[in-house]
Amino acid sequence: MSSRKKLLLKIIILGDSGVGKTCLMNQYVNRKFSTQYKATIGADFLTKEVCIDDRNVTMQIWDTAGLERFQSLGVAFYRGADCCALVFDVTSAKSFDNLDSWREEFLIQASPRDPNRFPFVVLGNKFDYPQDQHEVTAKRAEAWCANKFNIPYFPTSARENLNVEQAFLTVSRKALEQDPVADPYSDFSTNIRLEDNPPSGGDSCAC
C-alpha cells in the first residue's frame, strides 16, 4: 500500500546576490516573475505542497541572502536542511566560480552525516539571455558538477520558467532517497525570519 504520510523537506537556495534565487523560488511556488529588485535580508521561505512518487510532500524552500554580511547567519538557516540548490548566473563567471565556497560553507555549517551523498542540484540561471552574453558554458558547469559527486545540473530561466520545476523535483527526489526522510512533525515556527514581509524579488530578477 502506498504511504500517504505527509513529509516536510527543507530546501536551501544558495548563490551570489543577483543570480535570481528569489525569482526561481517565486516562479516555482507562485508561478510569478517580477523584475522588481529587493535584496533579501537574512532569509525567508515559501512552502509548496506537492506529490512526489505517490508521497505527499510539503516543500519548505528557503531563499537566503547572497550578500557577504549575512553569510555568518548561515548556521541558523542551514540546520536541518534536507537538500540544497546552488544557483549561479550563466552570464557571470564570478558567480559560477563562487559555487565552491557556497557549497563548502553549507557543508561546514549544516554538518550532514555524509557530505558526499548530501542532495545538491545546480541551477545555471538566466539561460534565456543571448548566447553571446553567456560566460559559463553548459560543458563547464556539467564538468564541475561531475567532479562534485555527480550533482545534477539544469540550465534555468526564472523569466521563461525553463527547467525550474524539474530542478526542484529532482533535488527533492534525491532528498527523499536519504534515510531518514524529513521529519513530518517539524514545527514551522522554529525557523528564523528576519523580516515581517513576504519576499518580493530578493535577488535581481532580470533573469
Q: What is the CATH number of the domain that holds 23?
A: 3.40.50.300
Separation of CA 28 from chain center: 11
Q: Is the pLDDT of residue 179 over 70?
A: no
What's the rounded Cα separation, in Å, for the pair 144 and 150?
9
Q: Which of residues 57 and 65 earns the better pLDDT score? A: 57
Using a pLDDT cut of 90, give the percent of the chain over it: 66
CA distances from 128 to 20, 51, 159 (A): 13, 29, 8
Assigned domain for 136 exists: yes
Identify the pLDDT of residue 158. 97
What's the rounded Cα separation, in Å, for the pair 26 and 114?
30
Q: What mean pLDDT is predicted for residues 30-38?
A: 68
pTM of the model: 0.83
* pLDDT tens figures, 120-175: 999 999 999 999 999 999 999 999 999 999 999 999 999 999 999 999 999 999 99
Assigned domain for 69 exists: yes
Q: What mean pLDDT is predicted for residues 24-43?
A: 72
Q: Which long-range contacts (CB under 8 A, 24 or more apart) does 141-144 make?
A: 141/88, 141/90, 141/96, 144/96, 144/99
What's the rounded Cα separation, in Å, for the pair 42 and 76?
10
120: cell is: 545538491
Residue 171 sits in which domain range?
Answer: 7-178
Q: Which residues of 117-153 are buried (b: 16+ CB within 10 A; e: fewer)?
A: ebbbbbbbbbbebeeeebebeeeebbebbeeeeebbb
Phi-psi region of 160 (alpha: psi -120 to 50; beta: other; left: phi over 0): alpha
Identify the pLDDT of residue 77. 81
Assigned domain for 188 exists: no
Amino acid at residue number 18: G
Helix (H, G, I), strand (E, B) or coil at 77: helix
* Spatial CA neighbour of 12 closest among 90, 93, 75: 75
Assigned domain for 110 exists: yes
Identify the pLDDT of residue 35. 62
Assigned domain for 54 exists: yes
Assigned domain for 153 exists: yes
What's the rounded Cα separation, in Å, for the pair 42 and 184?
25
Assigned domain for 74 exists: yes
What's the rounded Cα separation, in Å, for the pair 140 and 127?
14
Q: Which of residues 194 and 54 earns the better pLDDT score? A: 54
Adjacency order of strands within the sheet including 55-64: 43-52, 55-64, 7-14, 83-89, 120-125, 153-155
Assigned domain for 206 exists: no
Identify the pLDDT of residue 32. 81
When divided into structural domains, the chain yields a total of: 1
Assign 87 a pLDDT band (cuts: 50, 70, 90).
Answer: very high
